[in-house]
Amino acid sequence: MSARILRWREGDNEKLLKQAADILSHGGLVAIPTETVYGLAADATNGEAVARIFAAKGRPRFNPLIAHVADLAMARSCARFDARAERLAQAFWPGPLTLVLPLAEGAPVHPLVTAGLGTIAIRRPSGPSAELIARFGRPLAAPSANPSGRLSPTSAAHVAEGLGESIDAIIDAGPCRVGLESTIVSLAGQAPRLLRPGGLNAAQIEAVLGERLLAPETVSGEARKIEAPGMMSSHYAPRAALRLDAARVEPGEALLAFGPALPENAGEAVATRNLSPAGSLVEAAASLFAFLHELDRSGAAVIAVAPVPRQGLGAAINDRLARAAAPRA
Ligand code: AMP
Ligand code: MG
């Protein structure tokens, strides 16, 4: 498969918007031009579509993605805005500012977008991508449109070079105006914190807030990891302990299965979920957070987890399972 190039022409994009929205509504991936860098977008409500982002980028872990919205109303359906968030959105949206806010009840966003967190990173871009999101009617999850570990793309040609064979379409609207990732500010805690410096100057943000931004944690490697919540080793662990690569179910355990072949005593599990009876890693990635929650609610002290293959998306699934199984402080 080679990505279709959809060329943006000012004032004449009806057909392009329809094509791109069609691809997205079928769970496909479209690279979108924003003022920061090109993003790799999927329907944020569709877990399998979001899982394909991780597969296409070859990301080894499920770190949270930025939800891109068309307007403030869509933003408010995703996140709880306080007065500070309202002020920043008024001042800088559309633009290169991402806000991390408490996730709204019933937000139209799959848990894989937020890596199962109670917070969401949200941004309102300008230009073609805003028009596409408005047309699509739902938020788009989008990290930068480059293979994991490579430079962020600031042109359609960069995207084609890195991901041209693994995504459905690229909207080409020329080079990105800012060319740097968005600045990320968290308002989820007491004090506003700069999580990532980027295309919007921190001093401008502080001027609107009337207070200083706490610095990104730079004290040590460990502290920095905690700032990116998806990285915390036991982050979002269930209450139950996880027993990985389980071939059998022990008495009292719940079972998280994968694939058509269940452990021979699977019937003894107090509760069972199968990440993908057909053995699809995309389906498994999309189910992972919800099923861990559900099995946790079964009250079992231990969740036995069947082996999940480690290739492709399986690497990220196993990474997340290993973190959930890690001993907690
Ligand atoms: P990228 O995938 O390059 O667009 O970067 C997204 C950035 O947003 C990463 O640094 C994430 O750790 C950060 N991020 C996304 N969601 C959250 C969240 N809920 N809380 C804190 N940081 C987040
Ligand atoms: Mg990136």
In order of their start, the domains of the chain are 4-218 (3.90.870.10), 241-325 (no CATH)
Residue pointed to by tokens 């790799």 = 40
Neighbours of ion ligand 2 (CB under 5 A): 144
Mutate to test the pocket of ligand 1, among 34, 38, 53, 100 (most ligand atoms within 8 A of CB): 100
Can you give the pLDDT at residue 140? 98
Mutate to test the pocket of ligand 1, among 109, 150, 184, 196 (most ligand atoms within 8 A of CB): 184
Residues enclosing ligand 1, CB less than 6 A? Answer: 63-66, 100, 114, 117, 119-121, 143-144, 181, 184, 186, 195-196, 228-230
Can you give the pLDDT at residue 234? 42
Q: What is the 41 CA–ligand 2 centroid distance (Å)?
A: 12
Strand order in the sheet with 39-43: 4-7, 169-172, 30-32, 39-43, 140-141, 66-68, 119-123, 97-102, 183-186, 193-196
Nearest to 68 by CA among 22, 111, 131: 131
Q: What is the 141 CA–ligand 2 centroid distance (Å)?
A: 13
C-alpha angle 167/100/154, rounded to 5°? 35
Mean pLDDT across the chain:
92
Nearest to 309 by CA among 318, 299, 298, 320: 318
User: How far is residue 129's CA from residue 69's CA, in Å, rounded to a whole number?
Assistant: 9
Write out pLDDT tens, residues 274-283.
999 999 999 9
Q: What is the 170 CA–ligand 2 centroid distance (Å)?
A: 17
Inter-residue contact 40 to 143 (CB < 8 Å) = yes
Q: What is the 66 CA–ligand 1 centroid distance (Å)?
A: 6
> Which atom of ligand 1 is closest in space to residue 98's alpha carbon?
8
Q: Read off the pLDDT of each residue in 247-268 and give the average, rounded to a whole number.
A: 97
**Distance spanning both ends of the chain, measured CA to CA:** 46
Q: What is the 137 CA–ligand 1 centroid distance (Å)?
A: 22
Write out pLDDT tens, residues 21-73.
999 999 999 999 999 999 999 999 999 999 999 999 999 999 999 999 999 99
pTM, entire model: 0.89
Which residue has better confidence, 325 or 122? 122
Can you give the pLDDT at residue 69? 98
Q: What is the 110 CA–ligand 1 centroid distance (Å)?
A: 15
Residues 6+ positions from 309 with CB-CB distance below 8 Å: 281
Q: Read off the pLDDT of each residue in 107-115 and give the average, rounded to a whole number.
A: 96
CA dihedral 325, 44, 47, 298 (to 10 degrees): 50
Can you give the pLDDT at residue 217? 66
Can you give the pLDDT at residue 329? 53
Amino acid at 48: E
- Residue 222's Cβ-count burial label (10 Å; 0-12, 13-18, 19+) is exposed
Mutate to test the pocket of ligand 1, among 32, 63, 178 (most ligand atoms within 8 A of CB): 63
Write out pLDDT tens, residues 233-252.
444 578 899 999 999 999 99
Can you give the pLDDT at residue 215? 86
Q: Which percentage of the chain shows pLDDT scores above 90?
A: 85
In the beta sheet, which residues pair with residue 302?
A: 241
Write out pLDDT tens, residues 196-234.
989 999 999 999 999 999 987 654 444 444 444 444 444
> Which atom of ligand 1 is closest in space to residue 196's alpha carbon?
10
pLDDT band at 328 (very low <50, low <70, confident <90, very high): low
- pLDDT of 89 above 70: yes
Can you give the pLDDT at residue 233? 40
User: How far is residue 18's CA from residue 30's CA, in Å, rounded to a whole number?
Assistant: 12
Q: Read off the pLDDT of each residue in 175-195 and give the average, rounded to a whole number.
A: 94
Can you give the pLDDT at residue 1? 75
Can you give the pLDDT at residue 230? 41
